[in-house]
Amino acid sequence: MRIELSKRPQHSTLFSVLSPFIALALTLVAGAIMFSLLGKNPGEALYFYFIDPLREVWSLHELAVKAAPLILIAVGLSICYLSNNWNIGAEGQFIAGAVLGSFIPVVFPGFQNWTVLPLMLIMGMAGGAAYAAVPAYLKVRFNTNEILTSLMLVYVAQLFNDWLVRGIWRNPEGMSFPGTAPFHEYAVLPAIWPDAGRAHWGIVFALVAAVVAWFMLSKTLRGFEVKVLGQSPRAGRFAGFSSSRMVFFAFIVSGALAGLAGICEVSGAVGHLNEKLSIGYGFTAIIVAFLGRLNPLGIVAAGIILALTYLGGEAAQISIGVSDKVVRAFQGMLLFFVLACDTLIHYRIRLVSALPRSKTAEA
Amino acid sequence: METTHGPSGAGLLEVRGLTKIFGTLKACDNIDLDIAAGEIHALLGENGAGKSTLVKMLFGSLEPYSGTISWKGQAVRIASPGAARRLGIGMVFQHFSLFDSLTAAENIALSLADDTPILEIAEKARSLSKTYGLPLDPFSLVGDLSVGERQRIEITRCLLQEPQLIILDEPTSVLTPQEADKLFETLERLRAEGKSILYISHRLEEVKRMCDRATVLRHGKVVAHCDPRQETAASLARMMVGNDVAGATRPAAPAALGEELLGICGLSRKPATPFSIPLNNIWLSLRAGEVLGIAGVAGNGQGEFFEAVSGEVLQDSADVIRIRGKGVGKTGISGRRLLGAAFVPEERLGHGAAPRMRLSENLLLSRHATDRKVFLGTAGVIAKAAIGAATQRIIEVMDVRKSAPDPEAAALSGGNLQKFIIGRELDRQPSVLVVNQPTWGVDAGAAARIRQALIELARAGAAVLVISQDLDELFEISDAIAVMHSGALSKPMPIAEATLEKIGLLMGGAEPGHAHHSREVA
């Protein structure tokens, strides 16, 4: 008995749609096994993890707060990955956007009027885009591997931010805790319905970005260019598209969206810049992008699911007393199963018995 | 089904009712095949007839769905290429699997299971290759060798395992006529030793000349077993295609050719990679109404030349390449297309078409710039309906056969995809068409259609430049033939003066100042 993969003549539309759901189901099964190995009742644990956080309005708002950066970043990453540019450094671009976006309220706290917030958002996007342009330039100019350069730049950004908020940008009245002074009212991204919960305008930006990116990718020549250069670079060159320009386009768009996510997180969710800026949004967004099948609309759904793993992780720590490392375990399993299930799109699985099949002919 | 029994020798390989199914396609349907010891057996068929699938099952790369394979009278199951080799079946693939940066001996050592010292292998390879008239230097770097020499490595590697049946897949498609003659001598020597050869080809003259028996496949089924010497090339082609194949008709070129549409003035190009060919001072002038053929053994700079002419690679000076009188050396491929030029590259999948994209998307690939007004709306929104209609038009005109309304390019057979790619360019009515290997691996019916279309385009007032390894094709369609060797181009020879011998000698580098052996692109 063995398992045989045979290539489908065309990719399967059915499994393109089904594979993320199969992956989710397998993740839940594996999660149940993990919980029972930890000595917990798996049914109860999964309930507290995935259902309980959805039962209250305020926690739905929390879900939106967590989903917004994931969706924003993942939408940008989908453009990168479809064009075969492996930007792994969205976490760094997120931080770069947060830092540059915080420049005005931190350095010029006296400058207070309605232009501050739009300027902050623009500078956030510029920061992320500029930071993403570094691996893009290195790739085009020196043929460097963008996976390594973009990833290594994450640590540079983290340490730079750490240095800022412990050093020159530290709030003098902050009792020596790292972090800048709280932003003034013109520098805060407002909540959408302040009475109901904390969800800020970031989620709206995320949804708009998803729709615009979806339209661009599926309906326009630019989207076609992204896909052709990603799938067959040589055919793309034959079409007259420039792969160097595409490297910059993909990195700069995804960097700008990550930067926007960064400044929205700082000015919307936190209210000041500190050293614990991100809970790994830039990395989790990679899972979001793949779970959403690199389709911006799918990414909206996937972003909400991954946001739920964060919320569920917090809830489960309190209610059933498991470690917060469980969040990482869930996210890791999910990525694993998503990538594994994608095999089904291009391959058919057959169970083959060890006996030669020609025995019918021999009979 | 007509059957003639083999002339001599005991049955070596006996195949009965072999079937292989991919999804809904019966690639091989109930195939019967007998190969006797000491015969050269031809396997004939159009592209997509099931030849490759059949030999892959014989060589253990694919598992049959049903049917039996008997080897020397014993039913066997060939589970892997290793198992096939142990039985005594060797195979030389059409596309070589050699590492450019290793020597011939190292490449051979890699495929041998045991850990024989490399010097011993080299010595064996040297003596074996000499015995069979395939002189080979085991210590030469594969990257420096011509295609013919690389094929010798493949054949020597196969012979070292002392096979009794050797499968050769389209072995002459990359060789000069002279190199092919050498190969035939080797094959005859092998036959004299009692070894059997399964010879896959679509060059009917070769098959008539060399093979003792032939099995003809069409649409996955055996349509005939015959003695190719009793047949004519036309009757063999009829069996393969199922109807008569007409040669292209070439009306005489107009007495006075039109204005120059494509001019190349001293094109040189440095090698982009260690294994690519530098182009050396190429001059060419192509006028309206003319088909110019460029012959040459693969890897003598044709690919580099095509990239330079198409604008995928730019030149330092604008005037090196002129399209309709305009210097375009620094203009990209879209700009050259806008001047009326069209291009068909050699590689269909991955260069001329994106494999995982639909035909309609592949139409947009080469025409988004020239047909912007029709295919694109405001802000670059793709006009699906207009593109769909144009795709259907091309499919009908070129008789592209497909399994779905708008399939992915990779789902089409090579010949049908090529018809679509050529149709995509012809549909624009270009004034200059540059095409590299227009019918490489395309079946006889489709090839005839493509050649006719190229001639008609020229006679309608366009300039057509055809780069091809297939001399028969060039003689059929060209008004003049030039030869590319080691990155240099000979003076075009009017078709009335050209003979196979003259062209063949030029292809071998007989012109003074040329190195005798060509190098090949990695």
Decide which of B241, B275, B290 is a domain's last residue.
Answer: B241
Between CA A313 and CA A307 the distance in angstroms is 10
Q: Are residues B53 and B156 in the same domain?
A: yes
Q: Are residues B206 and B340 in the same domain?
A: no
Distance to chain B for A145, nearest Cα, Å? 19
Q: What is the pLDDT of residue B514?
A: 39
Task: Provide the chain A residues 232-271 that lie in CB contact (below 8 A) with chain B.
Answer: 232, 234-240
| Alpha-carbon separation of residue A205 from A262, A297, B354 (angstroms) | 12, 14, 34
The answer to whether residue A356 is domain-embedded is no
Give the tens place of pLDDT for each residue, B293-350: 998 877 788 889 999 999 999 999 999 999 999 999 999 999 999 999 999 998 888 8
Give the tens place of pLDDT for each residue, B364-378: 999 999 999 899 988
Q: What is the mean pLDDT of chain A?
A: 90
Q: Where are the beta strands (DSSP E) in B270-303?
A: 279-287, 291-295
The answer to whether residue B463 is domain-embedded is yes
Q: What is the pLDDT of residue B518?
A: 39
The answer to whether residue B165 is domain-embedded is yes
Between CA B342 and CA B120 the distance in angstroms is 53
Distance to chain B for A362, nearest Cα, Å? 7
B368 and A234 in contact by Cβ < 8 A? no
Domain range for residue A198?
Answer: 2-349
Please give the average per-residue pLDDT across B26-41, as a whole number. Answer: 90
Please give the average per-residue pLDDT across A261-290, as a whole number. Answer: 92
**Ranges A66-75, A177-186, B136-145, B418-427: which has the least confidence:** B136-145
Which of B120, B489, B462 shows the shortest CA–CA distance to B479?
A: B462
Counting the structural domains of chain A, the total is: 1
Q: Are residues B349 and B493 in the same domain?
A: yes
* pLDDT over 60 (residue A152): yes
Between CA B377 and CA B379 the distance in angstroms is 6
Q: What is the pLDDT of residue A86?
A: 96
Q: Which of B66, B376, B379 sits opposite A358 (nearest CB)?
A: B66
**Ranges B8-12, B139-143, B308-312, B358-362: which has the least confidence:** B8-12
Give the tens place of pLDDT for each residue, B413-464: 777 889 999 999 999 999 999 999 898 767 777 888 899 999 999 999 999 9
Q: How confident is the model at residue A355 (pLDDT cuts 50, 70, 90)?
A: low
Using DSSP's 3-state secondary structure scheme, residue A358 falls into coil
CB B64 within 8 A of CB B73: no
Q: What is the mean pLDDT of chain B?
A: 84
The answer to whether residue B513 is domain-embedded is no
The answer to whether residue A179 is domain-embedded is yes
The answer to whether residue B276 is domain-embedded is yes
Q: What is the pLDDT of residue B248?
A: 66
* pLDDT over 80 (residue A267): yes
Domain range for residue B97?
Answer: 11-241
The answer to whether residue A359 is domain-embedded is no
- Best mutation target, A358, A360, A362, to test chain B (most B CBs within 10 A): A358
Please give the average per-residue pLDDT across A140-163, as a whole number. Answer: 96
CA atoms within 13 A on the CB side of A150: 31
Has the ipTM of the complex gone over 0.90?
no
**Ranges A109-113, A152-156, B160-164, B402-406: which has the least confidence:** B402-406
Q: Are residues B231 and B298 in the same domain?
A: no
* pLDDT over 80 (residue B383): yes
Q: What is the pLDDT of residue B106?
A: 87
Q: How confident is the model at residue B516 (pLDDT cuts 50, 70, 90)?
A: very low
**Residues in chain B closer than 8 A to A238 (CB atoms):** 310, 312, 333, 343, 345, 351-352, 365-366
Q: Which of A6, A222, A231 sits opposite B356 (nearest CB)?
A: A231
**Residues in chain A closer than 8 A to B16 (CB atoms):** 361
The answer to whether residue A312 is domain-embedded is yes
Query: What CATH number does the domain containing B276 carry?
Result: 3.40.50.300
Please give the average per-residue pLDDT across B173-184, as a whole number. Answer: 78
* pLDDT over 70 (residue A238): yes
B75 and A360 in contact by Cβ < 8 A? no
* pLDDT over 50 (residue A141): yes
**Residues in chain A closer than 8 A to B23 (CB atoms):** 8-9
Q: What is the pLDDT of residue B245?
A: 57
A239 and B16 in contact by Cβ < 8 A? no
Please give the average per-residue pLDDT across A125-142, as a whole number. Answer: 97
Supply the pTM of this predicted model. Answer: 0.76
CB A116 within 8 A of CB A187: yes
Q: Are residues B283 and B420 in the same domain?
A: yes
The answer to whether residue B521 is domain-embedded is no
Please give the average per-residue pLDDT across A325-353, as a whole number. Answer: 84
The answer to whether residue B435 is domain-embedded is yes
Q: Which of A6, A235, A361 sits opposite B354 (nearest CB)?
A: A235
Q: How confident is the model at residue B10 (pLDDT cuts 50, 70, 90)?
A: low
A and B: number of Cβ contacts within 8 A: 95
Q: Are residues B122 and B69 in the same domain?
A: yes
- Best mutation target, B365, B408, B425, to test chain A (most A CBs within 10 A): B365
The answer to whether residue B82 is domain-embedded is yes
**Residues in chain A closer than 8 A to B345 (CB atoms):** 238
Q: Are residues B298 and B411 in the same domain?
A: yes
* pLDDT over 80 (residue B249): no
